[in-house]
Structure 1
Amino acid sequence: MTAWRTEGGTAIDRTRPLRFTFDGKMVDGFAGDTVASALLAGGVSVLGRSFKYHRPRGLWGAGVEEPNALVDIVGAMPNTRATQVPAADGLAVRSVNADPSAEKDRHAFLDAFSRFIPAAFYYKTFMFPDWHLFEPRIRQMAGLGTLDAGLREPSFAEQVNHHCDVLVVGAGPSGLLAARKALREGRRVVLCDDGRQVGGSLLHRAATIEGKPGAEWAADVAAELVEAGALVLAGTTAFGIYDHRLIGLSQKGADGAPDRLWRVRAGSTVLATGAIERPLPFGNNDLPGIMSAEAALVYLRRFGVVAGRKIVVATNNGLAYEAAEALAGTGAEVTVVDYRPDAPAPTGLRVLKGLTVVSASGRGTVSAVRLSNGSVLEADAVLVSGGFTPTVHLYCQAQGKLDWRDDILAFVPGRPVEGVEVVGAAAGDFGLPAELAEGATRDFGIVAAWPKPGAKERVWIDLQNDVTAKDVELAVRENFVSVEHLKRYTTLGMATDQGKTSNVNGLALMAEITGRRIPEVGTTTYRPPFTPVPLASFAGARSGTLMNPLRRLPLEREHRADGAVFREYGGWLRPAYYGEGPAEARIQAEAAAARKGIALFDGSPLGKIEVIGPDAAPFLDFIYYNTVSTLSPGRCRYGFILSEAGNIYDDGVLVRLDENRFVVSCSSSHVAGVHALLEEWRQDRFDRSRIFIHNATAEMATLTVSGREAPALIAALGLNAALDDAALPHMAVVSGAFEGAPVRIARVSFTGERSYEISVPADHAAALWSRLRREGEAYGATLLGLEALMILRAEKGYVVIGKDTDGTSRPMDFGLAAPLERKKVEFIGRRSLITEDAARADRRQFVGLEAVDGKGALPTGAHGIERASGSLRSTGYVTSSYFSPALQRPIALGLIERGLSRMGDVIELQHLKEVRHARIVAPCAFDPEGGRLHA
């Protein structure tokens, strides 16, 4: 193939040259080129290797239909079409399925064994002795692109939800006309097209519309649309139609802008998606240099590239003549082989009528074709046009059914689909819309040129998936005559191809072999996406903190001033400990000081979800494992929330402020999940007009004072509330005020010491913390980080959900079976708690573990083991383990089989091959009577 640059090219800017590499070799191009057009202009004939046989492959198309030129953009995107990648200076492009390069592939020898590896050969050949022995190597060889180990993470991709009255897909003449008409009717319009410039076929085919050249008319209409408020999206592919009129659009970022995923819901959708030119079936029709005639016209007029110097145009219809005449006008030697014996031919062209191409030949690239009369034509480029297939993928995704039209030999949209209109070439109308046509219309005049069985040479039906006519014949011989079976047996039309260039030829061959008509064979199912969509687009702006936003405390600045060392806990950045020096020493010191005096702790992330309304109490009875409707106003109760599987989802304190108002104080990391759960069940089985839910977690800060002197410090704050034990006993709540702001004081504890949680509006938190710090100096108050708090709670045997539980933990595993036995009303997870699995005697249960071997603290995660028949079996594991400064010994918690009935037993544990010994004890190791809560 000896393609070359000529003058012209409406898409390129010759004042801005660029250079990139392909398989390590330098390629020149211009701004506006695609990788494909620059490679074609640079004389690169072989752009890839075929999927199975590793045959050399060159360019076929110019857009989404391209089956051969799949490339890796090094460091950016694997397996992308060279026809859709803008050329850029410094780009590194690598061919796929080739080693070391497309031109010289060491696996090319496989083609010599093609007779032994037909369709589905691996299913038959590698079953014995075990498919899995061969599978890794086969999959490695079958892969196309390579995921670059150095692939840079995309910055992000945006996602947009949009509504409009009319979405027009395709900005060719029919699409532009439909968009303009809808806009002039006063409707909100979105117009999208996968090209970087609107116009469709008007950008490369000659047309005069409303007195203007077609491309100029298209630009003017686009400008009118934008000026009138329509949204015009170039470089945007409509890849799928989903339920409830949801259409997915993938917009490629330009000039450094991120990709964007549009989720559009339109009142109606107009599909002006055009049509795709089909290959002609003949021997060796996959050689590089054999190209779509329509694509050759695109490369000539848009990129200024002539496909060859000695060109054969083979066609069974009249639309290929424009390409032939245009190429002849560049000085190339053009011969048209027209399959139609009575075809009207323009003057000035060499036309051979009534002949067909039997086969192509050439080493590496095409050099000649043999015709049906036995003659041979030399050619360095063969441009073929086997008719056009309307692009009906989106219509079919919308549950549309196809009809067959004999006059154009193609499937077209059949029955109407509500909210979807198909126009233009997508509907089988290959000329300009009647409203726009001026002068002579294009002559289509197609005749059948379907593949025939029994060909001596290989005829390729599906170029992307390496499917030949012989593969289709083999499928029929083995009784895979259903079109869906044919697809899976041969891979015809699978993967990203979705039958764009291959489907109709494959169906025609199946029809010929089985004695049916093409519409009787039927079509396969078109599935989204129409073309691949980067996974980054589906992920959206979700990477790093955008994936899991880091939440910050209102008092972060104050904690930093106090020397806090921050870590992330459940999505919150919180103080782990305070001060300088070794972390473990600081943590131990804080825990010891909290037991001896007063500790100040910032518990702002604790959930503060308000449930309000006359049905709030029965609603929360359903939500909680415990009965909560019996709770008196001004009181608190600890409880579990379960999943529908009966597993513990969250725990925490429920506060009843008055008859119809509760506060769910859930775990810090579960606030969003619990909020969603409450909303889900509120909408599912309760009267939404009688229950209201408000998540006030971010609005309120919660500051905790813990220790024996806590009442004195709280009293010094002047909170304007009754704080004596009669008014505020343990597990009670009162209201007060601080500097004019309302506060809520709850007497609850996560340390085992007398504690007060003061909840204040977040914008008053700094003032309250400053006051606590100042008043606390008289009592030697210490600041408590989260790591020390974990030690204090473990000493008391308090559970941390997700740390001391796993995905199977149920309330009975913690010795809490009474609510199941006594509670009369339904609650989430109840039925799952009366299953055989929930009653198993060997369930893992929550216990304390006391190390008895003098080797220090037990490793967190160490497994309890039982020895049986020379093997080890896990009986559970250590969930939490610390050295207790208050007890001056290690403590641990764990989930151990039958643990509640094995108190006092010594068990073996193993961690990283080290064997330890521990005694099963009660979880609470410090102050089991709970006297310090009231001291």
Structure 2
Amino acid sequence: MSAAGANRIAGAGRLTPANTVRFTFDGKSYTGLQGDTLASALIANDVHLVGRSFKYHRPRGILSAGPEEPSALVGVRRDASRHTPNIRATVQEIHDGLDAVSQNRWPSLTFDIGALNDIGSPMFSAGFYYKTFMWPKAAWKHIYEPVIRNAAGLGVAPKEADPDNYAARYVHCDVLVIGGGVAGLTAALSAAESGARVILCDENAHPGGALRFEGEARLDGMAGHDWAVQAAGRLAAMDNVRLLTRTTAFGYYAQNFVGLVERVTDHLAAPEPDMPRERVWQVRAGKVIIAAGAIERHMVFANNDRPGIMLASAARTYLNHYGVAVGRKVGVYTANDSAYGAAFDLKRAGADIPAIVDLRDEPDAGLVEEAGVLGIRVLTGHAVTGAGGKLRVASMSVEPKKGGRTEVIPVDALIMSAGWTPSVHMFSQSRGKVAWDEETGRFLPGTYAQECASIGACNGTDGLEATVNEALAVGEAAAKAAHPKAKKPSVAISVGSAGKWAGGMVGAGPGAEAGKVVKAFVDFQNDVTAKDIRLAVQEGMHSIEHVKRFTTNGMATDQGKLSNLHGLAIAAEALDKPIPKVGLTTFRPPYTPTTFGAIVNHARGKIFDPMRRTPMHAAEAAAGAVFEDVGQWKRAWYYPRAGEDMHAAVNRECRTVREVAGMFDASTLGKIEVVGPDAAKFLNILYTNPFLKLGVGRLRYGIMCREDGFIYDDGVVGRLAEDRFHVTTTTGGAPRVLHHMEDYLQTEFPDLKVWLTSTSEQWAVIAVQGPKAREIVEPFVEGIDLSNEAFPHMSVAEGTVCGVPARVFRMSFTGEAGYEINVPADYGRMVWDAIYERGAPMGMCLYGTETMHVLRAEKGYIIVGQDTDGTVTPHDAGLSWAIGKKKTDFVGVRGLKRPDLVAEGRRQLVGLKVKDGKSVLEEGAQIVDNPKQAIPMKMIGWVSSSYWSENCGAPIAMALVENGHNRMGETLYVPMPDGVIEVEVCGTVFFDEEGGRLHG
């Protein structure tokens, strides 16, 4: 007995009796010990009822001692603003002031109105919602959906903003070891002593794994847990090792990228204010060693969910690590050797073990003999067919598995073990293929897809000595893979005795067979019974993935860690198929529930979607710019003067650019440096245009297609040297174009000597366009002759502007003579101010994106994503001239030859003249060729760009129209709410069709 709980055993466990902690559960105060989990502290205080189940609201207790816990989910409050629902009591460490509450019950945990669902359970069998809520159809939105949404979930989501901080780290290592049990510790020691950079993560507060409860294990002449503490200390002292406790590997992604989440302060009563609550580690490892162990399975029998019924390994953990007995009269039900160790430990600690019920006919004789010596009755060939009690288990009903007299044995706790399931979750997440081992009846790692290895129990390795030898070899091999000249590790581990874990079963046990109307639970969190699994098969679900969705087995927050194999076995039995033929559900990240805070991290509030500003933003704001959001960029939309609305400002800006000059901030354009001896060859493959013979100092407009032949992006490419190109992309296309290039360079053309660098943020870009553009910028430019003869349209040169190194591009997106001046971003504001100070007295204006759109539309220049929709080819867009006539290969060349892409009737980009001369069409408006046809009308196209053009004195528009290139001069119609607007199909160039203004 102890002040820290009536079930605390004096002298047992590894916690210090003097370190007491006060906490509350459902408003009642309790005492625990520092190092307790909420689960162990509650059991110490003889509290087993901790929650209610999701569907039936049945009383639920603590089933496990680890992250696989499906039932003991609680809400945890640190203060008024910190409430986290659905915390596993088996993982949450207690601290002074911890306030936990049960969930999914009203008005109280012991008396819950929702338990009426249990009485009406025949109405709520698997799949009932698919059949019940389909009629009447109108009732779904107004009746069914609100009720279901109110009933959904277990805990209540917090309404307050999350006040906690979260952190993230990016690290590389030679070897990442997932799991800190004997296998993980041994492999980490072996790899680390060979000189490899090692990260070892373990989800518990202290490494040790099964050694926390396995009291018989001996390593290097000491108790197993003592050895684990010493091994962890050795690793922590090594400079090439990072030991992460309270850290779960939650996701295994491509190229050995593994996500870890570390619980930093959840176990502290008063953490420092600047400490993060959790930290996400994003690890790229040369080799991943998975040492995730195995998960004990429960037995499937009637009422196996009563509080006080738990896994044998959990009971042993609570006793040997936390010093807590799970009951005073503990029944044991097993099909596995390891449960005997739990029974023996409890017996020696003073608990009464009225019987060990072993489903097997001939368990290990030595274990049966030892039980006899301890005075424990063993019933072989027997089964527990039901549990008595309600808010806590009170008895177990036992009978011979082949039929016979039922014996009711009083108990206040019942521990069970159906065997052990290798934890192949992380292996499966790596895209590895598991294989069914018929001899042992379990799925094991089979075909590997990444540089990883599984060791220990998760690899099906049985026995302590075999596990240690395997881990030593794999750790050494991983180090040598990273460093071929790695030294041989000096670590050697002698192995003594260990407990026995042989045997096991999957599926429903006696008393829960087909035809029995009992609640024998397979999935505790979602209230899925053996009967539900069989019903799913009866209803025609023959794939385990269908069974999963029909019953929700394995779809809860525990991801079926306990239930999946049982559900699979029951379905296989009902289908009369071998288990492998039924299939296995997919294991997906996260391995255990991960908070949104950890995932979102710093990306909250103002930096949820980070705002990007150009180097000239402050100057534009001072000039009165109205900004618009373009992706993450703030871009100047227009510059209104006193008394001007948007339309008046844009009209003025459009006239000024055509008549004098305008200055525009083009810094947001994507910019990619393509460098290397094969740079021209690479661009020649990526773009439809020819680039091999592009001269140094020249520019070329380029179209980039996908493999299917559709336009992906466009931009201007400048050749600065034989082996260096400056590539521009659309503002929104910068990241995807770089990704597109990298993808082809790494996967299709790895032999090309090319290097790609994003320089979008390096250069500030100032575009000066208009008849006086050269006169305005020429005084600031040194080292470049800007005359038409020396520097014609589509030229590029490097020199200085305002004394700053610069790249000057003679190009235009307005159709006027223009110069795009690229200077280092830090000097952008200075150069901008200098040019504006000279240009303003000459009549130059600043103009924004809206004016830019109008000016480019006047010239028929497209915007990818506005005048294209992912189904437009260069020919559709009127850009056939941009496809190299002599090119035999480029990305998209085969796609462009597909019959559908050269067929008649494709939607093609055309211009539209509005016949009334005043109506500005709505972008996205549909187009028809006969306005008098019946509704629904046949749409033949849509308006992609539409503006009032002050320079043309009329509205202008571009549209994608079926067979548009052959409809020139034809009248089409745009139906609008206020009437039908007549338009005439024309070319896409509305201003300066000959293009003479480009040359000044």
Equivalent position of 1:569 in the other structure: 630
What's the secondary structure of 1:837's corresponding residue?
Answer: helix
Equivalent position of 1:60 in the other structure: 63
Unaligned runs of 5+ in 1: none
Cα deviation, 1:271-312, whole Å, max 9, x if unaligned, reads 2x4443343454322222212233233334555654345443
Structure-2 separation of matches of 1:515 and 1:877: 57
Equivalent position of 1:879 in the other structure: 944
Task: Indicate how the Cα distance of structure 1 residues 125 and 206 shifts in structure 2: closer, same or farther if over 3 A, else same.
Answer: same
Equivalent position of 1:383 in the other structure: 415
Task: Please tell me whether the aligned partners of residues 384 and 398 of structure 2 are also in contact (alpha carbons under 8 angstroms).
Answer: yes
Q: 1:829 aligns with which of 892, 914, 923?
A: 892
The two structures have a TM-score, normalised by structure 1, of 0.82
Unaligned runs of 5+ in 2: 267-275, 400-404, 470-491
Q: Equivalences for 1:78-477 in 2 at 5 Å?
A: 81-86=88-93, 89=97, 95=103, 103=110, 106=113, 108-112=115-119, 114=121, 144-145=153-154, 148=157, 150=159, 158=168, 160-165=170-175, 167-206=176-215, 215-229=225-239, 230-238=241-249, 249-255=260-266, 256-267=276-287, 269=289, 271=291, 273-300=292-319, 302-303=321-322, 305-315=324-334, 319-320=338-339, 323-324=342-343, 335-339=354-358, 342-345=368-371, 351=377, 357-372=384-399, 374-391=406-423, 398-399=432-433, 401=435, 403=437, 411=442, 420=453, 422-423=455-456, 427-429=461-463, 442=499, 451-452=509-510, 453=513, 457-464=518-525, 466-470=527-531
Q: 2:736 aligns with which of 673, 688, 706?
A: 673
Task: Please tell me whether the aligned partners of residues 911 and 957 of structure 2 are also in contact (alpha carbons under 8 angstroms).
Answer: yes
Structure-2 separation of matches of 1:69 and 1:321: 25
Q: Equivalences for 1:672-821 in 2 at 5 Å?
A: 672-682=735-745, 688-689=751-752, 691=754, 693-738=756-801, 741-818=804-881
Cα deviation, 1:492-513, whole Å, max 9, x if unaligned, reads 6676656644566668878999
Task: Please tell me whether the aligned partners of residues 203 and 302 of structure 1 are also in contact (alpha carbons under 8 angstroms).
Answer: yes
Task: Please tell me whether the aligned partners of residues 337 and 356 of structure 1 are also in contact (alpha carbons under 8 angstroms).
Answer: no
Shift of 1:145: 4.4
Structure-1 separation of matches of 2:755 and 2:197: 36
Equivalent position of 2:402 in the other structure: none
What's the secondary structure of 1:296's corresponding residue?
Answer: helix
Task: Indicate how the Cα distance of structure 1 residues 513 and 10 shifts in structure 2: closer, same or farther if over 3 A, else same.
Answer: same
Task: Please tell me whether the aligned partners of residues 261 and 540 of structure 1 are also in contact (alpha carbons under 8 angstroms).
Answer: no
Task: Indicate how the Cα distance of structure 1 residues 131 and 195 shifts in structure 2: closer, same or farther if over 3 A, else same.
Answer: farther
Shift of 1:61: 0.9
Shift of 1:103: 4.9
Q: 2:665 aligns with which of 596, 602, 606?
A: 602
Task: Please tell me whether the aligned partners of residues 796 and 923 of structure 1 are also in contact (alpha carbons under 8 angstroms).
Answer: yes
Task: Please tell me whether the aligned partners of residues 591 and 885 of structure 1 are also in contact (alpha carbons under 8 angstroms).
Answer: yes
Moved more, 101-110 or 798-807: 101-110
Shift of 1:788: 2.8
Task: Indicate how the Cα distance of structure 1 residues 264 and 111 shifts in structure 2: closer, same or farther if over 3 A, else same.
Answer: same
Shift of 1:174: 4.5
Equivalent position of 1:534 in the other structure: 594
Q: 1:860 aligns with which of 899, 918, 923?
A: 923
- What letter is aligned with 1:527? F
Task: Please tell me whether the aligned partners of residues 462 and 501 of structure 1 are also in contact (alpha carbons under 8 angstroms).
Answer: yes
Structure-1 separation of matches of 2:769 and 2:890: 34
Q: 2:989 aligns with which of 914, 924, 930?
A: 924
- What letter is aligned with 2:306? L
Shift of 1:366: 2.0
Task: Please tell me whether the aligned partners of residues 705 and 757 of structure 1 are also in contact (alpha carbons under 8 angstroms).
Answer: yes
Task: Indicate how the Cα distance of structure 1 residues 788 and 4 shifts in structure 2: closer, same or farther if over 3 A, else same.
Answer: farther
Task: Please tell me whether the aligned partners of residues 183 and 455 of structure 2 are also in contact (alpha carbons under 8 angstroms).
Answer: no
What's the secondary structure of 1:312's corresponding residue?
Answer: strand
Task: Indicate how the Cα distance of structure 1 residues 882 and 244 shifts in structure 2: closer, same or farther if over 3 A, else same.
Answer: closer
Task: Please tell me whether the aligned partners of residues 52 and 142 of structure 1 are also in contact (alpha carbons under 8 angstroms).
Answer: no
Task: Indicate how the Cα distance of structure 1 residues 528 and 250 shifts in structure 2: closer, same or farther if over 3 A, else same.
Answer: farther
Task: Please tell me whether the aligned partners of residues 722 and 734 of structure 1 are also in contact (alpha carbons under 8 angstroms).
Answer: no
Task: Indicate how the Cα distance of structure 1 residues 287 and 436 shifts in structure 2: closer, same or farther if over 3 A, else same.
Answer: farther
- What letter is aligned with 1:427? T
Task: Please tell me whether the aligned partners of residues 134 and 140 of structure 2 are also in contact (alpha carbons under 8 angstroms).
Answer: no
Shift of 1:909: 3.1
What's the secondary structure of 2:234's corresponding residue?
Answer: helix
Task: Indicate how the Cα distance of structure 1 residues 352 and 822 shifts in structure 2: closer, same or farther if over 3 A, else same.
Answer: closer
Moved more, 128-137 or 549-558: 128-137
Shift of 1:162: 3.0
Equivalent position of 1:556 in the other structure: 617
Q: 1:870 aligns with which of 932, 935, 953?
A: 935
The two structures have a TM-score, normalised by structure 2, of 0.78
Aligned length: 924
What's the secondary structure of 1:788's corresponding residue?
Answer: helix
Moved more, 548-557 or 779-788: 548-557
Task: Please tell me whether the aligned partners of residues 403 and 519 of structure 1 are also in contact (alpha carbons under 8 angstroms).
Answer: no
Cα deviation, 1:40-93, whole Å, max 9, x if unaligned, reads 456654444446655433221111332333456798766553323445757675
Structure-2 separation of matches of 1:251 and 1:142: 32
- What letter is aligned with 1:260? V
Cα deviation, 1:11-62, whole Å, max 9, x if unaligned, reads 689867465665xx56656564444445545665444444665543322111
- What letter is aligned with 1:237? T
Equivalent position of 2:479 in the other structure: none
Task: Indicate how the Cα distance of structure 1 residues 115 and 604 shifts in structure 2: closer, same or farther if over 3 A, else same.
Answer: closer
What's the secondary structure of 1:651's corresponding residue?
Answer: strand
Cα deviation, 1:377-405, whole Å, max 9, x if unaligned, reads 33332233445455455567754645466
- What letter is aligned with 2:412? D
Task: Indicate how the Cα distance of structure 1 residues 375 and 182 shifts in structure 2: closer, same or farther if over 3 A, else same.
Answer: same
Task: Please tell me whether the aligned partners of residues 424 and 430 of structure 1 are also in contact (alpha carbons under 8 angstroms).
Answer: no
Task: Please tell me whether the aligned partners of residues 627 and 635 of structure 2 are also in contact (alpha carbons under 8 angstroms).
Answer: yes
Structure-1 separation of matches of 2:955 and 2:575: 79
Structure-2 separation of matches of 1:390 and 1:251: 24
Shift of 1:226: 0.8
Q: Percent identity at matched positions?
A: 35
- What letter is aligned with 2:834? R
Moved more, 482-491 or 182-191: 482-491
RMSD: 4.9
Shift of 1:564: 4.0
Q: Equivalences for 1:617-696 in 2 at 5 Å?
A: 617-629=680-692, 631-657=694-720, 661-682=724-745, 688-689=751-752, 691=754, 693-696=756-759
Task: Please tell me whether the aligned partners of residues 95 and 101 of structure 1 are also in contact (alpha carbons under 8 angstroms).
Answer: no
Shift of 1:227: 0.5
Task: Please tell me whether the aligned partners of residues 876 and 907 of structure 2 are also in contact (alpha carbons under 8 angstroms).
Answer: yes
Moved more, 486-495 or 847-856: 486-495
